[in-house]
Amino acid sequence: MISSPYDELHIYYLSGRLDAGSQVFAGGYLGNWEEEDTSFLFFSRPAGEEVNALLAGQPHLNLLDSFKMTYEQWQGGSIEPMQIGGFELRPPWRPGAENPPGENPRRLILDPGLVFGSGTHPTTADCLRALETAFSQNNPGTALDLGTGTGILALASAALGCRRVLAVDLNPLASATAARNVSANAMTDRILVVQGRAEALIDCPAELLVANLHYAVLDKVMAAPGFGKKLQVILSGLLRSEAKAAKERLRQRGFRIDRSWEHEQTWFTLYAVSASF
């Protein structure tokens, strides 16, 4: 068995966010996951000296904790090839990741890096199934993927035939990871990855909207003028009460619920079409 790309991870958990343009790290730096007003710095080796230098130069930052773990521990398990519907997902460090022309167009190379979105979460898997449903009913030429994470749903949309996909994520580490996956699958001519807020980009024209987001953000997305102009929408990341509220909001905005998926009565995914569709 080929091992994961990192032998071990050294993670430094900080309160505050790094100043823009911070370039203070030498070798071994893997990335910065920003969450609200906190930062998680990832290294492939111990980096106490570099982090202390960062704290000295940016006094608004504070070290809250540090961790050492394996890549599998961070991801919640080993990243293995998997089949979800007609999609075959393969990490690039596993055998058979190559996708020669003429072979299965739904075989996707997916390196989650330090970002969550390998396909193991039920909302991701159900979004892939929802995409297959959407494309079986229509062939949307344009799609907007909000909260793209690793880029998996944008890649799937392009693999199903979408000509142009805009993939959006607020987190810079996620958007960089998605861009690498787009390049690895030779889809840069069809998918554009941008860092930004979902609610700020919902008005971008697209026939299909895919949004796997926290409900607080989804609520803003559904209220935007551009939301009502989409022909097909897939909403996920919904808990039971949130799914009920989302269904009502969809009806108010002129959408018909075509199909829904649920996982253990906890996670819900909705596929809806415009009344004008």
pLDDT at 96: 64
Which residues make beta-bridge pairs with 164? Answer: 142
User: Cα–Cα distance between 184 and 59 in angstroms, integer?
Assistant: 39
Task: Give which of 10, 92, 103, 107 is closest to 49, Cα–Cα.
Answer: 10
Low-confidence ranges of the chain (pLDDT < 70): 1-4, 23-24, 95-103
User: φ, ψ for residue 182 (rounded to 5)?
Assistant: -60, -45
User: Cα–Cα distance between 85 and 157 in angstroms, integer?
Assistant: 14
The conformational region for residue 36 under phi > 0 = left, psi -120 to 50 = alpha, else beta, is left
| Tens-place pLDDT, residues 90-110 | 998 876 666 554 567 799 999
User: What DSSP string runs through the chain?
Assistant: -PPPS-S-EEEEEEES-PPTT-----TTEEEEEEETTEEEEEESS--HHHHHHHHHH-TT-EEEEEEEE-HHHHHTS----EEETTEEEE-TTSTT----TTS-TTEEE---TTSS-SS-SHHHHHHHHHHHHHHHH---SEEEEES-TTTHHHHHHHHTT-SEEEEEESSHHHHHHHHHHHHHTT-TTTEEEEES-HHHHTTS--SEEEEE--HHHHHHHHHSGGGGG-SEEEEEEE-HHHHHHHHHHHHHTTEEEEEEEEETTTEEEEEEEETT-
pLDDT at 2: 52
CA distances from 160 to 14, 104, 142, 229 (A): 40, 11, 11, 22
Side-chain-side CA neighbours of residue 174 (13 Å): 25
pLDDT at 185: 94
pLDDT at 101: 46
pLDDT at 211: 98
pLDDT at 87: 95
Q: Look up the pTM and report it.
A: 0.91
pLDDT at 64: 97
User: Cα–Cα distance between 25 and 43 in angstroms, integer?
Assistant: 10
Q: Provide CB contacts within 8 A for 93, sequence distance 6+.
A: 2, 3, 4, 5, 111
